[in-house]
Structure 1
Amino acid sequence: MREESTVQSFDAVGIGVGPFNLSLAALAQSAGGLTTRFFDVKPRFQWHPGLMLPEADLQVSFLKDLVTLADPTSAYSYLNFLHHKGRIYSALIANGLNSSRMEFEQYYQWVAEQLPSIRWDQSVKSVTLGDGCFEVTCESGETARTTTLALGSGKEPHLPDFAVGLRGGQVLHSSDLMQVRPATSGRRVMVVGGGQSGAEVVNYLLSDDTSLPESLTWVSSRAGFLPMDDSPFTNEWFAPSYVDHFRSLSAERRAVVLGSQRLASDGVSESLLRKIYRRLYQLDIAGGPLRHRLVANHRVADLRREGEALVVDLHDADRNRQEHCTVDVVVFCTGYRSRFPDYLEPLRERITVRADGFEVHEDYSLEWDGPSDLRIYVQSFAENSHGIADPNLSLSAWRSARILNSILGREQFRVNGATSITSWALGQD
């Protein structure tokens, strides 16, 4: 049933409520002095439900939650969540400063339930220019007027073009896995992608002796199944001081640097690689029925259906030749891509979009040719301008604080002055 049309005004309106805009909403609630509204099409907070695998762990410390690194005293911290649930000691004993992805989603949901600014089940239809404001119109008929937008609608699962039309029970993106739950027991399964999500899917498929595939082929275009670089100096790429340094580089240099840093964010946790290797070894010595092939330096070039099976064409980069593999199920762990949001189409011609994405200022506001007092901030759309940490959880609280400081026109949150062991420029003696 269509709701009765309502019009309200707010200081800021957020579109999409994933971890990043949830961080913004929580910090805004703590700061006070702002009227905010956040819209999301989902019925409740969900964090990649199709990839919520039973043994999946967070790849960063839980201190990199929604608020702590911007406001350590916030009531919306992960530690306060554990305290509220009565399991703070058992959690620390069990996990140290780590968390399972399932429990971290529960934390996100706990915070979301406390924020009156969020409206679920609200699909934003369009953003248009009104009289001195943006007008955010929902499919329900509700309209919000504001001078400040925060875009947090996230990225979309990426599939190769040749796989898009086949997506379903046999061909799926990793984000579909726990919702589609394809039949894999006793079947030939291929997992495409040598990053963390690929490793988590492989681990899941190997976890139950009673439902193992007949064969498992894991394909990576990289030189091997490579670990994430989690060393201290590499982790300084995920610190505020590095964002400022990265922004000072030319666009050409930034692209080169990002390419060289991929394993800092897209590699596999070493503990999971060891677990998979050990599991495959145990299956080998037990003489079980599973056949497995881990194939590096191969890229899936095409995919087609032949009867009930799927034929996968692969390019062997080492030998520069084509190879073929027949399977029953293919899971693409090929990441996510940003695209221009449909609801923003009325403003497309006024927003600066370059070949590598939006033009994003230091405070995460977009370059556009509209009134200067109307601002559009983006969450996780600025990797090419702000660095490798942009799509990562590590700096989400800091970025939200920086956005809120810009909106408020004052330093509500301390975002500068964090020290770094690494010097990004020699400077002058």
Structure 2
Amino acid sequence: MNEKELYDIIGVGIGPANLGLAALSTDIDNLSTLFFDETPSFRWHPGMLIEGADLQVPFLADLVTLADPTNRFSFLNYIHKAGRMNQFFFFNRFDIPRKEYSSYARWVSEQLDSCVFGRKVTDVINHQSDEIPHYEVIVEDRETKVEARYFSKNLVIGTGTKPLIPEKLTGFPAEDVMHTSQYAFQEKELAEADSILIVGSGQSAAEVFLEQLENQREGRPVLYWYTRSSGFFQLEAGKLGQEIFSPDYIDYFHALPLNKRLEELPGLNQLRNGIEQTTLHKIYDLLYHRTVDGKEAGCVIQANTEIRSIYHDDGKYQVVCYQHQQEKEFNLQTEKVVLGTGYKPDIPDWYERLMQEAEREEGYLRIGREFDIQFSDNRSNKIYSLTDLVHSHGAGATNLALAVHRNAAIINQVTGSKVYEDQRDTVFQQFSPSENGGR
């Protein structure tokens, strides 16, 4: 291997985070990058691209704007190129359709030669002891099964998440018991059901419930919406509260001891988990209109209720439920089940092996402020994580806006220069006391 074969950055996975990194790095001189994803083309939550569902952050949190408003890969440039600028002007909203964000991101991916789809990273070998320290990335073509090897000074791991389904709820036909990530692919089967159980109290579960409620005709399908949480709560959208999704808050949170960080996380859940106000209002208003003159709502909505098990019997599913506060077990019969049970980090086997020499803090990976995993050998060849950052960088670790900040920080560190301005003191509140309590 020689220096000419050595990339500055190889990224594993092409979700919005690594796609944004590819977009921000593509026009930088003397910075070579390459990104791999095993899917045939860019896909962003395809199973939840529901008609009418909006992105939960403003369009300014696109792939590039918060680092470089003049970048050609901005959402506004996409709208302009698509001939929709006047329509967007009269649309007059900061929140955009989720489908449109997906189309925008795919438009960006199709213009970047550095993004290679249909390639799965099957292994990464650490060569820190070589004359030229580097990482060897082994990649398989998903169609031909041909293997190729690439070399890089630095790695950015963006393997994302995968559905989190409790073991006791697995093993059923996908068209009957499905995670919300597969919802759009099963709409035909759901349309033929007489009863549907929806599990969870997050935004995805609420959107599924709303769409099924809108699709109801003459009380069919009967809908059940259960969550083990204590209620169906609104996502906190207060402007001061939202300031935790800022570089300033990351500075504060990252500097805390681990035990203080972990203590802080439950209190921040309402800022990253919950249901948007507009979705809750649509559900309530629809139910109110529907029940005029004493008509039935056609649904059951219940909190504090855990799904303990599911079994198939006589053409339907028997669901064993447990109401925690009353300590009461009961059975529910339904034809379909949609699980809004969330996601967990998607960690490949080779990544676990690569992390054997990484530093830990009580079992958690020690991750630097600039998103680089810490190793005892203080290597200059960095591995940056875009996955499983909550313990180190807080509740905003997966926020689309902060992904832009993260990518700018990675580019600045790899290049050793301030390619993108690293803005601080950009929020109205302070998180640490200063002298005399002032700013």
TM-score by length of 2: 0.91
Counterpart residue identity of residue 125, structure 1 = T
- Paired residue for 1:148? 154
- Paired residue for 2:78? 81
Aligned-residue Cα RMSD (Å) equals 2.0
Structure 2 residue corresponding to 1:178, chosen from 175, 184, 201: 184
- Paired residue for 2:144? none
The correspondence of residues 173-212 of structure 1 with structure 2, limited to 5 A, is 173-181=179-187, 182-210=189-217
The correspondence of residues 122-133 of structure 1 with structure 2, limited to 5 A, is 122-130=119-127, 131=130, 132-133=133-134
Q: Distance in 2 between matches of 1:189 and 1:32?
A: 55
Q: Distance in 2 between matches of 1:394 and 1:400?
A: 10
Structure 2 residue corresponding to 1:12, chosen from 9, 13, 17: 9
Structure 2 residue corresponding to 1:260, chosen from 258, 263, 267: 267
> Are positions 1:159 and 2:160 aligned together?
no
Distance 1:126-1:286 versus aligned 2 partners, 3 A rule: farther
- Paired residue for 1:306? 313
Q: Is the 8 A contact 1:356 1:384 kept in 2?
A: no
CA offsets 1:171-221 (integer angstroms, 9 cap, x no match):
110001112333344421111111101111111212224596431011122
> Are positions 1:341 and 2:338 aligned together?
no
Q: Distance in 1 between matches of 2:336 and 2:231?
A: 22
> Are positions 1:359 and 2:366 aligned together?
yes
Q: Distance in 1 between matches of 2:348 and 2:184?
A: 26
Q: Distance in 2 between matches of 1:368 and 1:331?
A: 42
> Are positions 1:329 and 2:344 aligned together?
no
Q: Distance in 2 between matches of 1:30 and 1:235?
A: 32
- Paired residue for 2:431? 424
- Structure 1 SS opposite 2:351: helix
- Structure 2 SS opposite 1:30: coil
Distance 1:259-1:144 versus aligned 2 partners, 3 A rule: same
Q: Distance in 1 between matches of 2:218 and 2:96?
A: 27
Moved more, 179-188 or 121-130: 179-188
Paired residues, number: 423
Q: Is the 8 A contact 2:219 2:298 kept in 1?
A: no
Moved more, 258-267 or 304-313: 304-313
CA offsets 1:64-101 (integer angstroms, 9 cap, x no match):
11111111111111111111112112113214222000
Distance 1:286-1:186 versus aligned 2 partners, 3 A rule: farther
Q: Give the deviation of 1:339 after TM superposition.
A: 4.1
Moved more, 97-106 or 314-323: 314-323
Q: Distance in 2 between matches of 1:135 and 1:300?
A: 45
- Paired residue for 2:299? 292
- Structure 2 SS opposite 1:330: strand
- Paired residue for 1:38? 35
Structure 2: gaps spanning 5 or more residues: 142-146
Q: Distance in 2 between matches of 1:287 and 1:126?
A: 62
Q: Is the 8 A contact 1:214 1:290 kept in 2?
A: no
> Are positions 1:59 and 2:60 aligned together?
no
CA offsets 1:116-142 (integer angstroms, 9 cap, x no match):
101110011111123421111112312
CA offsets 1:360-404 (integer angstroms, 9 cap, x no match):
111101123466022110113211110111112121111110111
Counterpart residue identity of residue 239, structure 2 = P
Q: Distance in 2 between matches of 1:204 and 1:355?
A: 43
- Structure 2 SS opposite 1:111: helix
CA offsets 1:252-309 (integer angstroms, 9 cap, x no match):
2212211011111111111110101111223333777762100012122222222322
- Structure 1 SS opposite 2:291: helix
Q: Distance in 1 between matches of 2:243 and 2:257?
A: 20
Structure 1: gaps spanning 5 or more residues: 1-6
Counterpart residue identity of residue 23, structure 1 = G
Q: Distance in 2 between matches of 1:322 and 1:354?
A: 40
Q: Distance in 2 between matches of 1:124 and 1:396?
A: 22
Counterpart residue identity of residue 104, structure 2 = Y
Q: Is the 8 A contact 1:126 1:345 kept in 2?
A: no
Q: Distance in 2 between matches of 1:14 and 1:27?
A: 13
Q: Distance in 2 between matches of 1:98 and 1:308?
A: 42
Percentage of matched positions with identical amino acids? 30
Moved more, 128-137 or 15-24: 128-137
Q: Distance in 1 between matches of 2:121 and 2:377?
A: 21
- Paired residue for 1:383? 390
- Paired residue for 1:29? 26
CA offsets 1:211-252 (integer angstroms, 9 cap, x no match):
964310111222221111100110111111000111122212
Counterpart residue identity of residue 22, structure 1 = L
Q: Give the deviation of 1:170 after TM superposition.
A: 0.9
Moved more, 112-121 or 331-340: 331-340
CA offsets 1:300-354 (integer angstroms, 9 cap, x no match):
2222222322222222122122222111111110111014322424424223456
TM-score by length of 1: 0.93
- Structure 2 SS opposite 1:243: helix
- Paired residue for 1:223? 230
Q: Is the 8 A contact 1:14 1:150 kept in 2?
A: yes
Moved more, 242-251 or 290-299: 290-299
Q: Distance in 2 between matches of 1:355 and 1:190?
A: 39
Moved more, 295-304 or 111-120: 295-304
Q: Distance in 2 between matches of 1:35 and 1:186?
A: 52
Q: Is the 8 A contact 1:128 1:346 kept in 2?
A: no
> Are positions 1:107 and 2:108 aligned together?
no
The correspondence of residues 404-419 of structure 1 with structure 2, limited to 5 A, is 404-419=411-426
Distance 1:50-1:357 versus aligned 2 partners, 3 A rule: farther
Q: Distance in 1 between matches of 2:359 and 2:167?
A: 27
Q: Distance in 1 between matches of 2:125 and 2:92?
A: 47
- Structure 1 SS opposite 2:110: helix
